[in-house]
Structure 1
Amino acid sequence: MNKGTVYKTRTQMVADILREKILSGEIVAGEPLRQDALAKEFNVSRIPVREALLQLEAQGLVSFEAHKGATATQLLPAEIHELFGLRALIECHVLECAIDKMTDQDLETAREVLLAFEKAVESGTQVETWSDLNYALHAALYKPAAMPMAMEVIHSLNIKSDRYIRLQLLLTAGIDKAEEEHCELLALCQKRDKAAASALLKKHILEAGQAIHDLLIQQQATRPAL
């Protein structure tokens, strides 16, 4: 946690810290999130902990089960295909709408995010920054479409897939592939080539999902039996 961070509420503090722990993998999928223990850890009452967990449930990062309480959500390999398929479906549509409305300033903003992404990758540290900038680039390209409800759905789907994208960037060759495809995608947007840009984006998202699916299958195969 950044020591300089100032939180408006205890609920926000707990939610932000737990979100980062879940997305970074410090809290693993399926791990129980016990309210009493969390309240003690954060030196707060159970109320802000409960509210924070409900926020994270709405973002798809926490689930509540009867007689079990809250746990960090776990995406099964089969669910990866559905999640990334939904992303491809809506993001390609929004990108096509955005290209018609892109200004030179919109493209420059996306280019600046791309340069920040490349710089962060070259640093070799802080994978959370890679993931944040990866989403920021996509969001910059979609913004001209002016479709706020669609962007809410896209943001939600990206939060659910974020920790798995981090796994892909860290443990596969995904980071080099992402850089190359981001550059190509921006170039196609500059040419206003909607068909080619949409096709590349679909390939970009679905192949990332497949890589993550394969990684999860591999992890399951090598995980010791309990």
Structure 2
Amino acid sequence: MTVRHSPAQATSGLTAEAITRELRDLILAGSIGVGVQLKQEALAKRFGVSRIPVREALKRLEAEGLLHNVARQGAVVAAKSVDDLVETLDIRIALESRALTLAIPHLSAVDFAAARDVLQRHEASDVPREWAELNLEFHTVLYRACNRPTLLKMIADTVKGIDLHLRVLLSHSVGRKSSMDEHAEILQACEARDTSRAINLLEAHIEHTQTALRQAPPIPAPFGF
């Protein structure tokens, strides 16, 4: 594969964390396509480092679900089936419903104001990549009052692990307006401390993505460098 860097970027001494972050950004932006092989030797040369931080970065990305190991190929940008994604969204429903149930009694006016701010930034944004980030930020604002750091990390990792695949399969604009409306309704239910309604709205919100996936065309053939 080819990873392009400016002279300033292609410097030695990059940490595994920095390499992980840059590769993650390239994968999630679609600059490194689904099915593309990531070779340690080529990456080490491009980043100006030994294979050790590259190997660690690839392990981290595999743990996030962005890469998987293929026999005789090594690390490859992961492709997931619609069934895999639908099942992962079921897991999201379970995790996020629990987080929201625990969080609602502890949500404050500050949390509600932060959630409204995210909705406003989402509405003002015309950058598709930002929509996914703002979506996670909105949900995180509502869930963090659950005071379950491990649960919150599981949710964030699950969301990030399928974001690339959702964006490969679904148009950036699919359901954007309805998704924003659903976010507003979830927030209203939380402000009213109506836990039952908030959970029902949250489940329906994620189920709409499942429906869109089932109606989407087949996963495109691998692309890349």
Q: CA deviation at 1:168?
A: 6.3
Give the CA RMSD over aligned residues: 2.5
Offset from partner CA, 1:2-26 (integer Å, 9 cap, x none): 9999xx9432221111101111222
Paired residue type of 1:31:
V
Corresponding residue to 1:64 among 60, 64, 69: 69
Task: Summarize the Cα distance change of 1:61–1:159 in structure 2 as closer, same or farther, 3 Å threshold.
Answer: same
Residue in structure 1 matched with residue 53 of structure 2 by the alignment: 48
Q: Distance in 2 between matches of 1:192 and 1:169?
A: 33
- Identify the structure with the greater helix proportion: 1
Map 1:193-204 to 2 at 5 A.
Answer: 193-204=194-205
Unaligned ranges ≥5, structure 1:
none
Indicate conservation of the 8 Å contact 2:14/2:47, yes or no: no
Paired residue type of 1:83:
T
Task: Summarize the Cα distance change of 1:168–1:74 in structure 2 as closer, same or farther, 3 Å threshold.
Answer: closer
Paired residue type of 2:205:
H
Offset from partner CA, 1:126-161 (integer Å, 9 cap, x none): 322111111000000001111111111101111112
Q: Normalising by the residue count of structure 2, what TM-score does the alignment of the two structures yield?
A: 0.87
Corresponding residue to 1:106 among 111, 115, 136: 111
1:176 is aligned to 2:177: yes
1:219 is aligned to 2:218: yes
Alignment length, in residue pairs?
Answer: 216
Q: Distance in 2 between matches of 1:51 and 1:106?
A: 36
Q: Normalising by the residue count of structure 1, what TM-score does the alignment of the two structures yield?
A: 0.86
Q: Distance in 1 between matches of 2:91 and 2:5?
A: 34
Identity %: 33
Residue in structure 2 matched with residue 134 of structure 1 by the alignment: 135
Unaligned ranges ≥5, structure 2:
none
1:27 is aligned to 2:26: no
